[in-house]
Structure 1
Amino acid sequence: MSRNIYLNGEIVPEDQAQISVFDHGYLYGDGIFEGIRAYNGRVFMLDQHIKRLYQSAKTIMLDIPLNKKEMEAAILKTIRANDLQDAYIRVVVSRGVGDLGLDPRKCPEPTIVIIASAIQLYPEELYETGLKLVTVPTRRNGPEMVNPRIKSLNYLNNIMARLEANMQNAPEAIILNSDGYVAECTGDNIFIIEEGKLYTPPKYAGILKGTKREVVLEIAAEMGLEIKEELFTRHDLFNAEECFLSGTAAEVIPVVEVDGRTIADGSVGQRTKDLIAKFREIAGSTGTEIYND
Protein backbone atom coordinates (compact mmCIF):
# COMPACT_ATOMS: atom_id res chain seq x y z
CA MET A 1 0.00 0.00 0.00
CA SER A 2 1.35 3.39 -1.00
CA ARG A 3 2.13 5.77 1.85
CA ASN A 4 1.28 9.45 1.91
CA ILE A 5 4.21 11.75 2.68
CA TYR A 6 4.33 15.29 4.03
CA LEU A 7 6.62 17.33 1.80
CA ASN A 8 7.02 21.06 2.36
CA GLY A 9 3.44 21.66 3.44
CA GLU A 10 1.67 19.19 1.15
CA ILE A 11 0.60 15.56 1.53
CA VAL A 12 1.67 13.64 -1.57
CA PRO A 13 1.85 9.94 -2.55
CA GLU A 14 5.26 8.46 -1.82
CA ASP A 15 6.08 8.08 -5.53
CA GLN A 16 5.64 11.84 -5.88
CA ALA A 17 7.68 12.77 -2.80
CA GLN A 18 10.71 13.95 -4.72
CA ILE A 19 13.73 15.82 -3.38
CA SER A 20 16.22 17.74 -5.48
CA VAL A 21 19.65 16.18 -5.98
CA PHE A 22 20.98 19.61 -4.99
CA ASP A 23 19.42 19.37 -1.53
CA HIS A 24 22.22 19.68 1.02
CA GLY A 25 20.65 16.97 3.14
CA TYR A 26 21.44 14.60 0.27
CA LEU A 27 24.75 16.16 -0.77
CA TYR A 28 26.27 16.69 2.68
CA GLY A 29 24.03 15.21 5.37
CA ASP A 30 23.25 18.79 6.39
CA GLY A 31 20.06 18.48 8.39
CA ILE A 32 18.36 16.92 11.38
CA PHE A 33 15.72 14.31 12.11
CA GLU A 34 13.57 12.69 14.77
CA GLY A 35 12.12 9.20 15.06
CA ILE A 36 8.79 9.14 16.92
CA ARG A 37 6.34 6.38 17.84
CA ALA A 38 2.55 6.27 18.01
CA TYR A 39 0.64 3.62 19.93
CA ASN A 40 -3.10 3.04 20.06
CA GLY A 41 -3.95 6.34 18.42
CA ARG A 42 -1.58 8.45 20.52
CA VAL A 43 1.84 9.89 19.69
CA PHE A 44 4.21 9.05 22.53
CA MET A 45 6.31 11.94 23.90
CA LEU A 46 5.56 14.18 20.93
CA ASP A 47 6.40 17.40 22.79
CA GLN A 48 9.79 16.03 23.87
CA HIS A 49 10.66 14.92 20.34
CA ILE A 50 9.70 18.28 18.86
CA LYS A 51 11.72 20.06 21.54
CA ARG A 52 14.80 17.99 20.69
CA LEU A 53 14.28 18.61 16.96
CA TYR A 54 14.34 22.35 17.50
CA GLN A 55 17.35 22.11 19.82
CA SER A 56 19.27 20.27 17.11
CA ALA A 57 18.16 22.89 14.59
CA LYS A 58 19.36 25.73 16.81
CA THR A 59 22.80 24.21 17.25
CA ILE A 60 23.36 23.84 13.50
CA MET A 61 21.74 27.26 12.83
CA LEU A 62 18.90 25.79 10.77
CA ASP A 63 15.74 27.91 10.81
CA ILE A 64 12.73 25.60 10.58
CA PRO A 65 9.95 27.47 8.75
CA LEU A 66 7.25 26.00 11.04
CA ASN A 67 6.83 26.84 14.70
CA LYS A 68 6.49 23.98 17.19
CA LYS A 69 2.68 23.94 17.15
CA GLU A 70 2.66 23.93 13.35
CA MET A 71 5.17 21.06 13.36
CA GLU A 72 2.94 19.10 15.73
CA ALA A 73 -0.04 19.70 13.46
CA ALA A 74 1.97 18.57 10.40
CA ILE A 75 3.01 15.34 12.16
CA LEU A 76 -0.56 14.53 13.19
CA LYS A 77 -1.84 15.39 9.71
CA THR A 78 0.64 12.95 8.17
CA ILE A 79 -0.41 10.12 10.48
CA ARG A 80 -4.08 10.77 9.72
CA ALA A 81 -3.33 10.82 5.98
CA ASN A 82 -2.10 7.25 6.36
CA ASP A 83 -4.99 6.17 8.63
CA LEU A 84 -2.62 4.76 11.27
CA GLN A 85 -3.17 4.00 14.93
CA ASP A 86 0.33 2.58 15.52
CA ALA A 87 3.20 4.11 13.60
CA TYR A 88 6.84 5.03 13.38
CA ILE A 89 7.13 8.67 12.33
CA ARG A 90 10.28 10.09 10.79
CA VAL A 91 10.61 13.90 10.68
CA VAL A 92 13.45 15.15 8.49
CA VAL A 93 14.49 18.78 8.09
CA SER A 94 17.36 19.40 5.69
CA ARG A 95 19.17 22.61 4.81
CA GLY A 96 17.37 22.55 1.50
CA VAL A 97 18.35 23.11 -2.11
CA GLY A 98 21.63 24.91 -2.76
CA ASP A 99 24.61 24.66 -5.08
CA LEU A 100 27.50 22.21 -5.04
CA GLY A 101 29.39 24.23 -2.45
CA LEU A 102 29.17 23.75 1.31
CA ASP A 103 27.94 27.23 2.21
CA PRO A 104 24.53 26.97 3.98
CA ARG A 105 23.80 30.58 2.95
CA LYS A 106 23.25 29.25 -0.56
CA CYS A 107 20.25 27.23 0.69
CA PRO A 108 17.36 29.73 1.00
CA GLU A 109 14.65 27.32 2.21
CA PRO A 110 14.84 24.12 4.30
CA THR A 111 13.15 20.94 3.11
CA ILE A 112 10.68 19.28 5.51
CA VAL A 113 9.67 15.66 5.07
CA ILE A 114 7.44 13.65 7.41
CA ILE A 115 6.95 9.91 6.93
CA ALA A 116 4.48 7.80 8.89
CA SER A 117 4.93 4.07 8.48
CA ALA A 118 5.79 0.99 10.55
CA ILE A 119 8.98 -0.34 12.10
CA GLN A 120 10.09 -3.47 13.93
CA LEU A 121 13.74 -3.30 14.86
CA TYR A 122 13.99 -6.66 16.61
CA PRO A 123 11.90 -9.86 16.53
CA GLU A 124 9.56 -10.17 19.51
CA GLU A 125 11.33 -13.28 20.80
CA LEU A 126 14.47 -11.25 21.54
CA TYR A 127 12.51 -9.31 24.16
CA GLU A 128 12.14 -12.65 25.93
CA THR A 129 15.60 -14.13 25.31
CA GLY A 130 17.77 -11.00 25.06
CA LEU A 131 20.39 -9.64 22.67
CA LYS A 132 24.00 -10.77 22.25
CA LEU A 133 26.07 -7.66 21.57
CA VAL A 134 29.61 -6.84 20.50
CA THR A 135 31.88 -3.86 21.08
CA VAL A 136 33.20 -2.40 17.82
CA PRO A 137 36.39 -0.49 16.92
CA THR A 138 34.64 2.67 15.75
CA ARG A 139 34.59 5.25 18.56
CA ARG A 140 31.78 7.69 19.31
CA ASN A 141 32.14 11.25 18.13
CA GLY A 142 33.07 13.52 21.00
CA PRO A 143 31.22 16.77 21.78
CA GLU A 144 34.15 18.72 20.33
CA MET A 145 33.51 17.01 16.96
CA VAL A 146 29.96 16.62 15.61
CA ASN A 147 28.21 16.64 18.97
CA PRO A 148 26.22 13.40 19.46
CA ARG A 149 23.48 15.45 21.13
CA ILE A 150 22.61 16.72 17.63
CA LYS A 151 20.37 14.20 15.87
CA SER A 152 21.83 15.03 12.49
CA LEU A 153 21.43 13.48 9.06
CA ASN A 154 25.14 12.66 9.04
CA TYR A 155 24.99 9.23 10.70
CA LEU A 156 28.20 7.75 9.30
CA ASN A 157 29.66 7.35 12.80
CA ASN A 158 26.73 5.08 13.70
CA ILE A 159 26.70 3.36 10.31
CA MET A 160 30.38 2.44 10.52
CA ALA A 161 29.71 0.82 13.90
CA ARG A 162 26.66 -0.92 12.44
CA LEU A 163 28.78 -2.35 9.62
CA GLU A 164 31.27 -3.71 12.13
CA ALA A 165 28.42 -5.34 14.07
CA ASN A 166 27.10 -6.86 10.84
CA MET A 167 30.49 -8.44 10.15
CA GLN A 168 30.19 -10.21 13.51
CA ASN A 169 26.52 -11.16 12.93
CA ALA A 170 25.53 -9.11 15.96
CA PRO A 171 22.12 -7.39 16.17
CA GLU A 172 23.59 -4.21 17.69
CA ALA A 173 26.97 -2.68 18.51
CA ILE A 174 28.31 -1.07 21.66
CA ILE A 175 30.33 2.05 20.91
CA LEU A 176 33.02 3.39 23.25
CA ASN A 177 34.02 7.03 23.49
CA SER A 178 37.54 8.27 22.78
CA ASP A 179 38.58 7.55 26.40
CA GLY A 180 37.45 3.92 26.24
CA TYR A 181 34.27 4.33 28.30
CA VAL A 182 30.95 2.87 27.17
CA ALA A 183 28.94 5.55 25.33
CA GLU A 184 25.92 4.04 23.62
CA CYS A 185 24.86 1.71 20.80
CA THR A 186 24.28 2.61 17.16
CA GLY A 187 20.64 3.49 17.79
CA ASP A 188 20.04 2.97 21.51
CA ASN A 189 21.10 4.09 24.95
CA ILE A 190 22.58 1.44 27.25
CA PHE A 191 22.00 0.62 30.94
CA ILE A 192 23.30 -1.84 33.53
CA ILE A 193 21.90 -2.82 36.92
CA GLU A 194 24.21 -3.67 39.81
CA GLU A 195 23.43 -3.93 43.55
CA GLY A 196 20.19 -1.97 43.39
CA LYS A 197 21.64 0.78 41.20
CA LEU A 198 20.88 1.64 37.60
CA TYR A 199 23.93 2.92 35.69
CA THR A 200 23.85 4.70 32.36
CA PRO A 201 26.50 6.87 30.65
CA PRO A 202 26.17 10.60 31.36
CA LYS A 203 25.43 13.18 28.67
CA TYR A 204 29.08 14.24 28.45
CA ALA A 205 30.19 10.65 27.63
CA GLY A 206 29.22 11.18 23.98
CA ILE A 207 25.58 10.10 23.83
CA LEU A 208 22.33 11.18 22.32
CA LYS A 209 20.04 12.21 25.16
CA GLY A 210 17.34 9.73 24.26
CA THR A 211 13.72 10.54 24.99
CA LYS A 212 13.11 6.91 25.97
CA ARG A 213 16.21 7.07 28.18
CA GLU A 214 14.38 9.67 30.26
CA VAL A 215 11.33 7.40 30.56
CA VAL A 216 13.53 4.52 31.71
CA LEU A 217 15.17 6.68 34.37
CA GLU A 218 11.76 7.71 35.71
CA ILE A 219 10.47 4.12 35.79
CA ALA A 220 13.66 2.87 37.45
CA ALA A 221 13.42 5.52 40.16
CA GLU A 222 9.80 4.53 40.84
CA MET A 223 10.98 0.90 41.14
CA GLY A 224 13.38 1.95 43.88
CA LEU A 225 16.59 1.73 41.88
CA GLU A 226 19.22 4.36 42.64
CA ILE A 227 20.06 6.25 39.45
CA LYS A 228 23.74 6.68 38.57
CA GLU A 229 24.58 8.65 35.43
CA GLU A 230 28.25 7.71 35.49
CA LEU A 231 31.04 6.55 33.23
CA PHE A 232 31.65 2.82 33.12
CA THR A 233 33.77 0.37 31.12
CA ARG A 234 33.34 -2.97 29.38
CA HIS A 235 34.51 -4.62 32.62
CA ASP A 236 31.40 -3.23 34.30
CA LEU A 237 29.22 -4.50 31.45
CA PHE A 238 30.68 -8.01 31.67
CA ASN A 239 30.06 -8.19 35.42
CA ALA A 240 26.65 -6.52 35.58
CA GLU A 241 23.63 -8.23 37.09
CA GLU A 242 21.43 -7.03 34.23
CA CYS A 243 21.84 -5.04 31.03
CA PHE A 244 19.36 -3.53 28.58
CA LEU A 245 18.94 -0.92 25.85
CA SER A 246 16.34 1.75 25.18
CA GLY A 247 15.36 3.64 22.05
CA THR A 248 12.35 4.83 20.10
CA ALA A 249 12.43 1.90 17.67
CA ALA A 250 13.78 -0.70 20.12
CA GLU A 251 11.69 0.45 23.10
CA VAL A 252 13.33 -1.42 26.04
CA ILE A 253 15.15 -4.64 25.14
CA PRO A 254 17.36 -6.88 27.29
CA VAL A 255 21.01 -7.82 26.72
CA VAL A 256 22.28 -11.21 27.87
CA GLU A 257 25.77 -11.35 26.37
CA VAL A 258 28.52 -8.84 25.51
CA ASP A 259 31.68 -9.80 23.60
CA GLY A 260 31.20 -13.48 24.43
CA ARG A 261 30.73 -12.84 28.18
CA THR A 262 27.39 -13.90 29.60
CA ILE A 263 25.56 -11.29 31.66
CA ALA A 264 24.84 -12.95 35.04
CA ASP A 265 23.27 -16.36 34.31
CA GLY A 266 22.40 -15.50 30.71
CA SER A 267 18.68 -15.02 31.25
CA VAL A 268 16.68 -11.80 31.26
CA GLY A 269 16.65 -10.30 34.75
CA GLN A 270 13.42 -9.66 36.63
CA ARG A 271 13.99 -5.92 36.99
CA THR A 272 14.53 -5.63 33.24
CA LYS A 273 11.29 -7.58 32.66
CA ASP A 274 9.49 -5.19 35.01
CA LEU A 275 10.94 -2.18 33.19
CA ILE A 276 9.82 -3.54 29.82
CA ALA A 277 6.29 -4.17 31.09
CA LYS A 278 5.99 -0.73 32.66
CA PHE A 279 7.44 1.01 29.61
CA ARG A 280 4.92 -0.69 27.34
CA GLU A 281 2.09 0.20 29.68
CA ILE A 282 3.06 3.89 29.63
CA ALA A 283 3.75 4.01 25.88
CA GLY A 284 0.45 2.33 25.08
CA SER A 285 -1.70 4.60 27.23
CA THR A 286 -0.23 8.12 27.09
CA GLY A 287 0.54 10.71 24.45
CA THR A 288 -0.96 13.22 22.06
CA GLU A 289 -4.28 12.12 20.58
CA ILE A 290 -4.15 11.69 16.80
CA TYR A 291 -7.90 11.45 16.19
CA ASN A 292 -9.36 13.78 18.79
CA ASP A 293 -12.72 14.30 17.12
Structure 2
Amino acid sequence: MTIKINLNGTIDNDAFISVLDHGFLFGDSVYEVVSTIDGQVVFLAEHLRRLRQSAAALNLVIPYSDTKFGEEIHRTLKSAGNTESYVRIIVTRGVGELDLDPTSCTSPNVIILAKEAVIYPQENYDKGIHLALVSVKRNLKESLNPELKTGNYLNNVLAKMEANRTGAADALMLNSSGYLTECTTSNIFFVKDGRIFTPSLDCGILEGITREKILRLARENGFLVEEGEWPPEALEQAEEAFITGTVKKIMPVTLLNSRPVGNGKPGPTTKKLMRLYEDFLKRVLE
Protein backbone atom coordinates (compact mmCIF):
# COMPACT_ATOMS: atom_id res chain seq x y z
CA MET A 1 0.00 0.00 0.00
CA THR A 2 1.37 3.38 -1.03
CA ILE A 3 1.66 5.99 1.69
CA LYS A 4 2.30 9.61 0.83
CA ILE A 5 4.48 11.27 3.43
CA ASN A 6 4.66 15.00 4.00
CA LEU A 7 7.74 15.76 6.11
CA ASN A 8 8.05 19.44 6.99
CA GLY A 9 6.30 20.42 3.76
CA THR A 10 8.09 18.04 1.38
CA ILE A 11 5.91 15.24 -0.02
CA ASP A 12 7.37 11.91 -1.06
CA ASN A 13 6.60 8.19 -1.02
CA ASP A 14 9.56 7.71 1.29
CA ALA A 15 10.77 9.99 4.03
CA PHE A 16 13.19 9.59 6.89
CA ILE A 17 13.88 11.25 10.21
CA SER A 18 17.11 11.08 12.15
CA VAL A 19 17.60 8.29 14.67
CA LEU A 20 18.48 11.13 17.07
CA ASP A 21 14.93 12.51 16.87
CA HIS A 22 13.52 12.33 20.39
CA GLY A 23 10.21 11.17 18.97
CA PHE A 24 11.98 8.01 17.83
CA LEU A 25 14.25 7.68 20.86
CA PHE A 26 11.75 8.38 23.64
CA GLY A 27 8.26 8.54 22.15
CA ASP A 28 8.46 12.29 22.67
CA SER A 29 5.79 13.24 20.15
CA VAL A 30 2.08 13.91 19.74
CA TYR A 31 -0.26 12.77 17.02
CA GLU A 32 -3.83 12.72 15.74
CA VAL A 33 -5.69 10.64 13.19
CA VAL A 34 -8.36 12.05 10.89
CA SER A 35 -10.24 10.46 8.04
CA THR A 36 -12.08 11.64 4.97
CA ILE A 37 -15.66 11.10 3.89
CA ASP A 38 -16.50 11.97 0.30
CA GLY A 39 -12.95 13.32 0.10
CA GLN A 40 -13.48 15.82 2.93
CA VAL A 41 -11.49 15.70 6.16
CA VAL A 42 -13.90 15.25 9.06
CA PHE A 43 -13.60 17.12 12.39
CA LEU A 44 -10.14 18.49 11.61
CA ALA A 45 -10.60 21.51 13.90
CA GLU A 46 -11.40 19.28 16.89
CA HIS A 47 -8.42 17.03 16.21
CA LEU A 48 -6.03 19.96 15.84
CA ARG A 49 -7.33 21.43 19.08
CA ARG A 50 -6.56 18.17 20.88
CA LEU A 51 -3.16 17.97 19.17
CA ARG A 52 -2.31 21.39 20.57
CA GLN A 53 -3.56 20.46 24.03
CA SER A 54 -1.35 17.37 24.03
CA ALA A 55 1.64 19.36 22.78
CA ALA A 56 1.12 22.12 25.36
CA ALA A 57 1.20 19.54 28.17
CA LEU A 58 4.57 18.37 26.84
CA ASN A 59 5.87 21.94 26.26
CA LEU A 60 6.24 20.90 22.64
CA VAL A 61 6.03 23.80 20.18
CA ILE A 62 3.95 23.10 17.07
CA PRO A 63 5.37 25.19 14.22
CA TYR A 64 2.22 25.11 12.03
CA SER A 65 -0.92 27.18 12.31
CA ASP A 66 -4.26 25.43 11.82
CA THR A 67 -4.48 27.05 8.39
CA LYS A 68 -1.04 25.69 7.48
CA PHE A 69 -2.06 22.21 8.65
CA GLY A 70 -5.15 22.38 6.46
CA GLU A 71 -3.09 23.42 3.44
CA GLU A 72 -0.49 20.70 3.93
CA ILE A 73 -3.10 18.00 4.54
CA HIS A 74 -4.89 19.06 1.34
CA ARG A 75 -1.62 18.93 -0.62
CA THR A 76 -0.84 15.48 0.77
CA LEU A 77 -4.30 14.12 0.00
CA LYS A 78 -4.15 15.49 -3.52
CA SER A 79 -0.78 13.83 -4.05
CA ALA A 80 -2.05 10.53 -2.64
CA GLY A 81 -5.09 10.50 -4.93
CA ASN A 82 -7.10 8.10 -2.77
CA THR A 83 -10.86 7.86 -2.97
CA GLU A 84 -10.95 8.06 0.83
CA SER A 85 -7.96 8.51 3.11
CA TYR A 86 -6.64 7.79 6.56
CA VAL A 87 -4.46 10.72 7.69
CA ARG A 88 -2.03 10.69 10.61
CA ILE A 89 -0.58 13.98 11.85
CA ILE A 90 2.58 13.71 13.96
CA VAL A 91 4.74 16.34 15.62
CA THR A 92 7.99 15.07 17.10
CA ARG A 93 10.38 16.86 19.44
CA GLY A 94 13.08 16.78 16.77
CA VAL A 95 16.79 15.99 16.80
CA GLY A 96 18.72 16.48 20.00
CA GLU A 97 21.40 15.07 22.23
CA LEU A 98 21.28 11.38 23.13
CA ASP A 99 19.70 11.97 26.53
CA LEU A 100 16.26 12.59 27.97
CA ASP A 101 16.61 16.36 28.28
CA PRO A 102 14.54 17.91 25.44
CA THR A 103 16.17 21.33 25.63
CA SER A 104 18.71 20.35 22.96
CA CYS A 105 15.85 19.81 20.46
CA THR A 106 15.22 23.08 18.65
CA SER A 107 13.38 22.06 15.47
CA PRO A 108 10.23 19.93 15.79
CA ASN A 109 9.35 17.69 12.85
CA VAL A 110 5.86 17.81 11.38
CA ILE A 111 4.79 14.65 9.56
CA ILE A 112 1.54 14.06 7.69
CA LEU A 113 0.89 10.54 6.44
CA ALA A 114 -1.92 9.79 3.99
CA LYS A 115 -2.93 6.31 2.86
CA GLU A 116 -6.02 4.59 1.52
CA ALA A 117 -8.77 4.62 4.13
CA VAL A 118 -9.02 1.71 6.54
CA ILE A 119 -12.17 -0.23 5.72
CA TYR A 120 -13.30 -2.66 8.39
CA PRO A 121 -15.26 -5.73 7.30
CA GLN A 122 -19.01 -5.11 7.15
CA GLU A 123 -19.38 -8.21 9.30
CA ASN A 124 -17.91 -6.23 12.21
CA TYR A 125 -20.93 -3.92 12.06
CA ASP A 126 -23.55 -6.52 11.20
CA LYS A 127 -22.50 -9.14 13.77
CA GLY A 128 -20.23 -7.25 16.18
CA ILE A 129 -16.71 -7.94 17.38
CA HIS A 130 -15.00 -9.82 20.20
CA LEU A 131 -13.25 -7.85 22.97
CA ALA A 132 -10.81 -9.26 25.51
CA LEU A 133 -10.59 -7.76 28.98
CA VAL A 134 -6.82 -7.87 29.41
CA SER A 135 -4.41 -7.80 32.33
CA VAL A 136 -2.48 -4.80 30.98
CA LYS A 137 -3.60 -1.68 32.86
CA ARG A 138 -4.21 1.76 31.40
CA ASN A 139 -1.53 4.32 32.22
CA LEU A 140 -1.87 6.12 35.54
CA LYS A 141 -3.04 9.69 35.05
CA GLU A 142 -0.38 10.75 37.55
CA SER A 143 2.44 9.23 35.49
CA LEU A 144 1.53 9.49 31.80
CA ASN A 145 -1.85 11.13 31.44
CA PRO A 146 -3.99 9.08 29.00
CA GLU A 147 -5.80 12.27 27.98
CA LEU A 148 -2.64 13.20 26.04
CA LYS A 149 -2.37 11.59 22.62
CA THR A 150 1.37 10.98 22.48
CA GLY A 151 3.67 8.63 20.61
CA ASN A 152 4.19 6.68 23.84
CA TYR A 153 1.75 3.79 23.23
CA LEU A 154 3.60 0.80 24.59
CA ASN A 155 0.92 -0.24 27.09
CA ASN A 156 -1.66 -0.21 24.27
CA VAL A 157 0.67 -2.34 22.14
CA LEU A 158 1.05 -4.86 24.97
CA ALA A 159 -2.72 -4.90 25.50
CA LYS A 160 -3.33 -5.54 21.78
CA MET A 161 -0.80 -8.38 21.81
CA GLU A 162 -2.61 -9.99 24.74
CA ALA A 163 -5.94 -9.66 22.93
CA ASN A 164 -4.45 -11.18 19.80
CA ARG A 165 -3.49 -14.28 21.77
CA THR A 166 -7.15 -14.81 22.67
CA GLY A 167 -8.41 -14.29 19.14
CA ALA A 168 -10.19 -11.05 20.09
CA ALA A 169 -10.40 -8.05 17.79
CA ASP A 170 -9.23 -5.62 20.45
CA ALA A 171 -8.29 -5.25 24.10
CA LEU A 172 -10.25 -3.53 26.86
CA MET A 173 -8.17 -2.19 29.75
CA LEU A 174 -8.89 -1.43 33.39
CA ASN A 175 -7.23 1.30 35.42
CA SER A 176 -5.21 0.71 38.59
CA SER A 177 -8.43 0.93 40.64
CA GLY A 178 -10.04 -1.88 38.66
CA TYR A 179 -12.50 0.26 36.68
CA LEU A 180 -13.18 0.10 32.95
CA THR A 181 -11.27 2.60 30.83
CA GLU A 182 -11.03 2.11 27.06
CA CYS A 183 -9.75 -0.09 24.25
CA THR A 184 -6.40 0.36 22.54
CA THR A 185 -7.68 2.95 20.03
CA SER A 186 -11.33 3.44 20.91
CA ASN A 187 -13.77 4.30 23.68
CA ILE A 188 -16.24 1.82 25.17
CA PHE A 189 -19.98 2.17 25.81
CA PHE A 190 -22.51 -0.30 27.15
CA VAL A 191 -26.28 -0.41 27.54
CA LYS A 192 -28.39 -1.68 30.45
CA ASP A 193 -32.12 -1.15 31.06
CA GLY A 194 -32.31 1.43 28.30
CA ARG A 195 -29.49 3.56 29.73
CA ILE A 196 -26.14 4.18 28.09
CA PHE A 197 -23.02 4.00 30.25
CA THR A 198 -19.42 4.94 29.50
CA PRO A 199 -16.28 5.48 31.62
CA SER A 200 -15.76 9.09 32.66
CA LEU A 201 -12.61 11.04 31.91
CA ASP A 202 -11.67 10.63 35.58
CA CYS A 203 -11.07 6.93 34.87
CA GLY A 204 -8.00 7.86 32.83
CA ILE A 205 -9.16 7.76 29.22
CA LEU A 206 -8.55 9.75 26.09
CA GLU A 207 -11.35 12.23 25.45
CA GLY A 208 -12.35 10.76 22.12
CA ILE A 209 -13.66 13.09 19.42
CA THR A 210 -16.18 10.48 18.28
CA ARG A 211 -17.04 9.72 21.91
CA GLU A 212 -18.03 13.35 22.45
CA LYS A 213 -20.18 13.36 19.30
CA ILE A 214 -21.98 10.16 20.36
CA LEU A 215 -22.64 11.47 23.87
CA ARG A 216 -24.19 14.62 22.46
CA LEU A 217 -26.26 12.74 19.86
CA ALA A 218 -27.52 10.29 22.46
CA ARG A 219 -28.65 13.03 24.83
CA GLU A 220 -30.24 15.08 22.05
CA ASN A 221 -32.28 12.02 21.05
CA GLY A 222 -33.62 11.29 24.50
CA PHE A 223 -31.25 8.60 25.73
CA LEU A 224 -30.25 8.58 29.37
CA VAL A 225 -26.46 8.65 29.50
CA GLU A 226 -24.19 8.18 32.51
CA GLU A 227 -20.45 8.78 32.67
CA GLY A 228 -18.82 7.19 35.69
CA GLU A 229 -16.62 4.49 37.19
CA TRP A 230 -17.74 0.99 36.29
CA PRO A 231 -16.26 -2.36 37.33
CA PRO A 232 -15.94 -5.06 34.65
CA GLU A 233 -18.97 -6.85 36.13
CA ALA A 234 -21.16 -3.99 34.90
CA LEU A 235 -20.11 -4.68 31.33
CA GLU A 236 -20.49 -8.43 31.79
CA GLN A 237 -24.14 -7.83 32.78
CA ALA A 238 -24.82 -5.39 29.93
CA GLU A 239 -27.44 -5.96 27.26
CA GLU A 240 -25.40 -4.23 24.55
CA ALA A 241 -21.95 -2.77 24.06
CA PHE A 242 -20.14 -0.83 21.37
CA ILE A 243 -16.89 1.00 20.77
CA THR A 244 -16.32 4.35 19.07
CA GLY A 245 -13.42 5.89 17.19
CA THR A 246 -12.47 8.15 14.31
CA VAL A 247 -12.00 5.30 11.86
CA LYS A 248 -14.28 2.66 13.42
CA LYS A 249 -17.17 5.14 14.00
CA ILE A 250 -19.60 2.98 16.04
CA MET A 251 -18.81 -0.73 16.11
CA PRO A 252 -20.95 -3.21 18.08
CA VAL A 253 -19.35 -5.54 20.62
CA THR A 254 -21.11 -8.90 20.91
CA LEU A 255 -18.48 -11.02 22.68
CA LEU A 256 -16.48 -10.25 25.81
CA ASN A 257 -13.84 -12.81 26.76
CA SER A 258 -15.58 -15.27 24.40
CA ARG A 259 -18.93 -14.84 26.20
CA PRO A 260 -21.95 -13.19 24.56
CA VAL A 261 -22.81 -9.62 25.46
CA GLY A 262 -26.58 -9.66 25.91
CA ASN A 263 -28.01 -12.00 23.29
CA GLY A 264 -24.78 -11.96 21.32
CA LYS A 265 -26.12 -9.65 18.59
CA PRO A 266 -25.95 -5.88 18.01
CA GLY A 267 -28.78 -4.38 20.06
CA PRO A 268 -31.45 -1.81 19.19
CA THR A 269 -29.77 1.09 20.99
CA THR A 270 -26.47 0.43 19.23
CA LYS A 271 -28.20 0.17 15.85
CA LYS A 272 -30.12 3.40 16.40
CA LEU A 273 -26.98 5.27 17.39
CA MET A 274 -25.20 3.91 14.32
CA ARG A 275 -27.99 5.33 12.13
CA LEU A 276 -28.02 8.63 14.00
CA TYR A 277 -24.26 9.01 13.64
CA GLU A 278 -24.32 8.26 9.91
CA ASP A 279 -27.07 10.86 9.46
CA PHE A 280 -25.05 13.32 11.55
CA LEU A 281 -21.97 12.82 9.36
CA LYS A 282 -24.06 13.47 6.24
CA ARG A 283 -25.29 16.76 7.74
CA VAL A 284 -21.74 17.77 8.66
CA LEU A 285 -20.64 17.28 5.07
CA GLU A 286 -23.51 19.19 3.46
In structure 1, how many angstroms separate the alpha carbons of the residues matched to 2:121 and 2:95?
38
In structure 2, how many angstroms separate the alpha carbons of the residues matched to 1:228 and 1:273?
19
Contact 1:22 1:99 in 2 (8 A): yes
State the match for 1:9 in structure 2: 9
Contact 1:40 1:284 in 2 (8 A): no
1:267-291 Cα deviation digits (max 9, x unpaired): 110111121122223334525x9xx
Q: 2:266 aligns with which of 265, 268, 284?
A: 268
1:97-176 equivalent positions in 2, closer than 5 A:
97-120=95-118, 122-176=120-174
**SS of the residue aligned with 2:178?**
coil
CA shift for structure 1 position 242: 1.0
In structure 1, how many angstroms separate the alpha carbons of the residues matched to 2:253 and 2:43?
25
- Matched residues, percent identical? 39
**Which amino acid letter does the alignment assign opposite residue 113 of structure 1?**
I
Normalising by the residue count of structure 2, what TM-score does the alignment of the two structures yield? 0.95
Does residue 1:61 correspond to 2:59, yes or no? yes
CA shift for structure 1 position 195: 1.9
State the match for 2:194 in structure 1: 196
State the match for 2:238 in structure 1: 240
The number of residues matched between the two structures is: 286
In structure 2, how many angstroms separate the alpha carbons of the residues matched to 1:76 and 1:233?
43
1:86-131 Cα deviation digits (max 9, x unpaired): 2110001000111211111111100110011124363221110011
In structure 1, how many angstroms separate the alpha carbons of the residues matched to 2:205 and 2:128?
23
- Which consecutive residues of structure 1, in runs of 5 or more, have no partner in the other structure? none
Contact 1:40 1:285 in 2 (8 A): no
**Which amino acid letter does the alignment assign opposite residue 7 of structure 1?**
L
**Which amino acid letter does the alignment assign opposite residue 8 of structure 1?**
N
State the match for 1:177 in structure 2: 175
CA shift for structure 1 position 204: 1.1
In structure 2, how many angstroms separate the alpha carbons of the residues matched to 1:2 and 1:118?
8
1:196-235 equivalent positions in 2, closer than 5 A:
196-235=194-233
Contact 1:240 1:263 in 2 (8 A): yes
In structure 1, how many angstroms separate the alpha carbons of the residues matched to 2:169 and 2:99?
37
In structure 2, how many angstroms separate the alpha carbons of the residues matched to 1:164 and 1:213?
25
CA shift for structure 1 position 84: 3.3
State the match for 1:26 in structure 2: 24
1:213-258 Cα deviation digits (max 9, x unpaired): 0111122113311121111111111111210000112111001121
**Which amino acid letter does the alignment assign opposite residue 163 of structure 1?**
M
Select between 214-223 and 2-11 the one with higher mean Cα deviation: 2-11
1:183-236 Cα deviation digits (max 9, x unpaired): 001111000112222111011101000000011112211331112111111111
**SS of the residue aligned with 1:97?**
coil
Select between 144-153 and 189-198 the one with higher mean Cα deviation: 189-198
Contact 2:198 2:226 in 1 (8 A): yes
State the match for 2:46 in structure 1: 48
In structure 2, how many angstroms separate the alpha carbons of the residues matched to 1:41 and 1:4?
16
In structure 2, how many angstroms separate the alpha carbons of the residues matched to 1:121 and 1:173?
19
Contact 1:50 1:72 in 2 (8 A): no
**SS of the residue aligned with 1:138?**
coil
Moved over 6 A (4+): none
**SS of the residue aligned with 2:247?**
coil
**Which amino acid letter does the alignment assign opposite residue 81 of structure 2?**
D
**Which amino acid letter does the alignment assign opposite residue 58 of structure 1?**
A
- Which of structures 1 and 2 has the larger relative contact order (alpha carbons within 8 angstroms, sep 6+)? 1
In structure 2, how many angstroms separate the alpha carbons of the residues matched to 1:99 and 1:159?
27
In structure 1, how many angstroms separate the alpha carbons of the residues matched to 2:108 and 2:195?
44
CA shift for structure 1 position 261: 2.9
